[in-house]
A and B are shown apart, each in its own frame.
Chain A
Amino acid sequence: MIDRVHLQEIDWVLIGLLLVNSVIGILLIYSASHYQPGNFYVRQVIWLLVSLAVLFLALSIDYKILIGFSPYIYALFILILAGLLFFGKGTAGAKSWIRVTVFGGQPSELAKIALILILARIFAEFRRSHLSLDFAALSAGVVFVLVVIVGLQPDLGTAISFLAILFGCLVLAGLNKKALAILLAGTILVSFAGWNFLLKDYQKKRLTTLVNPGHDPRGSGYHILQSKIAIGSGGVAGKGFKKGTQSQLRFLPARHTDFIFSVLGEEFGFLGVFIVFLSYFFFLARLFRSVGKSRDRSGIYIVFMTTCLLTFQFLVNIMMIVGLFPVAGIPIPLLSYGGSSLLTTYLAVGLVVNVKMRRFVNV
Chain B
Amino acid sequence: MKDSPIYEDVSHLLKRSSIIFLLVEIVFLFVAFYYWKIQILDYKKYWTLSEANRTREAVIPAPRAVLTDRSGSVVLANSVASFRASIIRENTKNFDESCRKIGQLLGLEEAIIRERMDKYKSLPVFKPIVVKDNLTLEEVSRIEGRKMDMPELVIETEPKRFYPFTTLAAHIIGCVQELTMDELRTTFKERKLGDMAGKTGVESSYESRLAGVDGKIIEVVDSLGRKRDELDRIEPQQSPKLALTLDYDIQAKAEELLTGKEGAIVVLEPKTGEVLALASFPTYDPNKFVNRFTPEEWMALANNPDNPLVNRAIQGQYSPGSIFKLAMASGALDSGTIVDQTTFFCGGSIQIYGRPFRCWFEPGHGTLNLYEAIQHSCNIYFYNLGRRMNIDTIARYAEELGLGKKTGIDIPGEKEGLVPSTEWKKKTQKTAWYPGETISVAIGQGPLQVTPLQVAAMTALIANRGARIYPHVLREGREPAENIKITSAIFEKIIEGMWRSANMGGTGQGARVDKFDVCSKTGSTQIIGRETAEKLGTQRKTHSWFTGFAPRNNPRVVVTVLVEFGGLGGATAAPIAGEIFKLYKNKFYDRQSSSPGD
Contact = CB atoms under 8 A, between A and B. Distances in A.
Contact of B35 (A270, A284, A359): A270
B20 A233 contact: no
Contacts of B47: 232-233, 235
Contacts of A229: 46, 49-50, 53
Contact of A295 (B5, B34, B53, B224): B5
A172 B54 contact: no
Nearest to B55: A245
B50 A292 contact: no
Interface in A272-312: 273-274, 277, 281, 284-285, 288, 291-297, 300, 304, 307-308, 311
Interface stretch (A15-23, A150-158, A194-202, A316-324): A316-324
Contact of B223 (A249, A293, A304, A308): A249
Contacts of A265: 35, 39
Contact of B16 (A171, A250, A295): A171
Interface in B293-326: none
Nearest to A360: B5
Interface in B3-57: 3-6, 8, 10, 12-14, 16-18, 20-21, 24, 27-28, 31-32, 34-36, 38-40, 42-43, 45-47, 49-51, 53-54
Interface in A334-363: 359-360
Given A171-B20, A315-B24, A235 B223 contact: no
A221 B186 CA distance: 37
Given A246-B53, A249-B223, A359-B5, A174 B40 contact: no
A128 to B, nearest CB: 10
A322 B38 CA distance: 9
A291 B228 contact: no
Contact of A319 (B12, B31, B51): B31
Contacts of B17: 172, 288, 291-292, 304, 307
B221 interface: yes
A292 B43 CA distance: 43
A249 B12 contact: no
A25 interface: no
B113 interface: no
A249 B221 contact: yes
A231 interface: yes
A232 B38 contact: yes
B106 to A, nearest CB: 25
A66 B221 CA distance: 53
A295 B27 CA distance: 31
B146 to A, nearest CB: 19
A231 B39 contact: yes
A171 B51 CA distance: 47
Contact of A245 (B18, B53, B224): B53
A273 B228 CA distance: 28
A118 B186 CA distance: 75
Contacts of A322: 34-35, 38
Contact of B38 (A231, A250, A292, A296): A231
A293 B1 CA distance: 11
A235 B36 CA distance: 9
Contacts of A300: 10, 13
A342 to B, nearest CB: 22
A232 B45 CA distance: 8
Nearest to A272: B39
A315 B13 contact: no
Contacts of B38: 228, 231-232, 322
Given A233-B51, A300-B10, A318-B31, 20 more contacts: A127-B8, A174-B12, A174-B16, A229-B46, A231-B39, A232-B46, A232-B50, A233-B47, A235-B47, A245-B220, A249-B223, A250-B224, A277-B31, A284-B24, A288-B24, A293-B4, A294-B5, A308-B20, A311-B24, A359-B5
A-B residue pairs, 3 tightest by C-beta: A232-B46, A233-B50, A249-B222
Interface of B: 3-6, 8, 10, 12-14, 16-18, 20-21, 24, 27-28, 31-32, 34-36, 38-40, 42-43, 45-47, 49-51, 53-54, 220-224, 228
10 contacts: A226-B53, A231-B35, A232-B46, A251-B222, A269-B39, A273-B39, A284-B24, A295-B6, A300-B10, A315-B24
